[in-house]
Amino acid sequence: LSSSLAVTLLFCGRVHTDSLRIALIHLHSLFFFSACDEIFALNRKEDQIRPCKMTVDFEDCLKDSPRFRANIDEVETEVVEIEAKLDKLVKLCSGMIEAGKAYVSANKLFVNGIRDLSQQCKKDEMISECLEKCSESLQEIVNYHMILFDQAQRSVKQQLHNFVKEDVRKFKETKKHFDKVREDLEIAQVKNAQAPRNKLHEVEEATSTLNVTRKCYRHLALDYVLQINVLQAKKKFEILDAMLSFMHAQYSLFQQGFNLLDEIDPYMKKLAAELDQLVIDSAMEKRDMEHKHATIQQRVRMTHV
């Protein structure tokens, strides 16, 4: 296999990511479902290997052409910039996860408060039942959020962090070796050009050094170009895979939350109807009590007279 095809086989295949079973109660999530369905449709297609367009061409590398050097400089600048952006994204993700953990902790305390109130209201079956059902559903939502933040930790924070610390670092180390050998080649070229032609021994020595250095440079340049193309292909995969995994988690969060709310919806409708009747009954009871109060008060006045 050629080097470019090897890169293609390594990093350009489609990868199916398992959806996480997580949820969030959110009635206005249907538009989000529609958008995520389009993303899932792309990922459900049959796996296929697509040609990877090389960032730097191997032929240009062997020729050490001006275009090759320009491409190298462009890639190196891009790697520095993408590293900074990924580092920033990882830090932002860490902040989001920490805020999420605080949110989960606050929700757990809230659910415990509902359960305590339910225990206090045991004698009133209607209140107790409502509080129990609500606390159970809210506890499920807390669990779903914990799974979402765990997925953010693994898919965005850890995956992209590993890419920066392992793949980008390896690229930068290879770049140091490449720069050193390129500098050696330039020195060898200068010495060969400046070697006095009337001193055959010095000319032969300079020419030999130049040939050895050029050979070493070409081998390292080929390795460097391979690593550049691999890094670019893997960068594309890692970023897309991380975001797709996180969007799967978000999709499941909303979908499972909708399903959870749909299951409790009949009870909520029943409770709403009972509350409407309770308002009517309470109004009638209040009117009756006011009437009795007025009657008794009038009787008391007549007695005193």
> pLDDT for 101-125, tens place per residue?
999 999 999 999 999 999 999 999 9
Q: How confident is the model at residue 168 (pLDDT cuts 50, 70, 90)?
A: very high
Chain centroid, CA 61 distance in Å: 36
**What CATH topology corresponds to 3-304?**
Substrate Binding Domain Of Dnak; Chain:A; Domain 2 (1.20.1270)
Domain boundaries, the chain: 3-304
Q: Does 25 have pLDDT greater than 50? A: no
Of residues 82 and 42, which shows the higher confidence score?
Answer: 82
Integer Cα distance of 224 and 171 in angstroms: 8
Tell me the average pLDDT across 146-166. Answer: 92
Integer Cα distance of 262 and 241 in angstroms: 31
Residue keyed to tokens 């086989």: 9
Integer Cα distance of 135 and 119 in angstroms: 12
Residues whose CB is less than 8 angstroms from the CB of residue 46 and which lie 6 or more positions away in sequence, other chains included? 14
Chain centroid, CA 271 distance in Å: 39
As a residue count, the chain comes to: 305
Query: How many other CB atoms sit within 10 Å of the CB of residue 257?
Result: 22
Tell me the average pLDDT across 139-145. Answer: 94
